[in-house]
Amino acid sequence: MKELDKQISEVLEHIISIRRYIHQNPELGYEEKATSKLVAQELKSSGLAVQEGVGGYGVVGILEGNHPGKILLLRADMDALPIEEETGLSFSSKIPGIMHACGHDIHTAILLGVARVLSKYKDFIAGQIKFVFQPAEECSPQGGAQKMIKEGILENPDVDYALALHVWPQLYVGEIGLCSGPCSAKSDRFFLKVTGKSGHASAPHQGIDALVAAADIISSMQTIVSRRVDPKDSIVISIGKITGGQRYNVICDKVEMEGTVRIMTPGYEDEIMKYMNQVGQGIVQAHGASFEMNYLKGYPMVINDACLTQKVKEILTEKIGEDAVKNISQDTSGEDFSFISQKVPSVYMKLGSSPKDAKEVLPLHNSRVIFDEGCIPFGIKALAALSLELLQQEE
């Protein structure tokens, strides 16, 4: 591991400069043209074979070991978010209204660092590593993972294992979180429309108030979780946007709402949509209004393979220390690495990104969130060590 640490230290300054450049020049999902070009150039400079334009702006780098063996896929996402950055960093986003608030710039930099380091270890690698740089992870329900899978990233040759990591402010730098089984939520999206009849606010009985019906729907949707879901199971229904009304003294005739469903317990994938439609239709009928729902099924749950998770835990415990490996629970975020985890044994890890002296821990997707760059060498070391052990030449 001392030799690995040395290799990481030699490339670290360059990798951090790449991270900062990507952070300053963020690109939204399906628009990662410059980022993908930079990634391809870096992979080629590390001596890897490179495939560009996979599933949009996706890039795949291939590292062939000098011995036959298993096929390992390592994945990083590249897209940013439509958020105005307020961190005050010297390398803050130069693009108005776009920010790497989910840390995909760090994921990309870490994987480029892993590629550069492991390119010097071909004699120790039995098999092949596919370095997958994915576009549009934030574009649920049609994220980039499905498109890349359709274009063959899991085939030719077939992938045996897949690994990914995500920065996580709730863990400190030098910590990595693992859970077995479901480790993220199924993430769906919905659009609701309530239609009533407009009229003068002084004579509400002559109209049908869509606002009042919508208010009842918002409140009653929560009874699905509290009264129709087993208390031991976990579901979230949140309405995040509501628009309606034209003037203070006019009965509102149309309200539109948008929201998300997060399902953490398998078995409710179809039930929640059915319950929501029943609630909406029943309430508007009582008000004399009408109801429409467009429910978009998004990313499924990421399922960490139990056997591979145990193997990853053992390797990380040996290589980076028992205290660094943290057992974590499933979280409510959505993640399209889930589509890969449905196809091959996979492990999705959480990489600590907050300094231990942090006075405030801000969540992902916050305009002021800052990821400590100390997590970059740690992430490189974790993925490199896992790769070398999983693909070690058998005697």
Mutual orientation of helices 271-287 and 210-227 as an angle, nearest 10°? 140
| DSSP letter string, 108-153 | HHHHHHHHHHHTT-GGGBEEEEEEEEES-TTSTTS-HHHHHHHTTT
103/131 Cα distance (integer angstroms): 18
Residue 85 designated active-site: no
Q: How many angstroms separate the Cα of 185 from the Cα of each of 32, 146, 189?
A: 26, 17, 13
Residue 299 designated active-site: yes
177/351 Cα distance (integer angstroms): 6
State the CB neighbour count (10 A cutoff) for residue 9. Answer: 10
**Block residue for tokens 């993220």:** 184
Active-site option among 30, 57, 275, 299: 299
Report the Cα 68 to chain-centroid distance in Å.
32
Active-site option among 151, 271, 373, 389: 373
Q: Please give the span between the terminal C-alpha atoms of the chain, in angstroms, as a whole number.
A: 20
Burial code (b: 16+ CB inside 10 Å, e: under 16) for 302-328 equals bbbbeebbebbbebbeebbeeebbbeb
Report the Cα 112 to chain-centroid distance in Å.
18
Of 125, 158, 156, the C-alpha closest to 390 is: 125
Of 167, 124, 132, the C-alpha closest to 151 is: 132
181/306 Cα distance (integer angstroms): 6
Bridge partners, residue 303, by sequence: 182
Annotated active-site positions, please? 299, 373
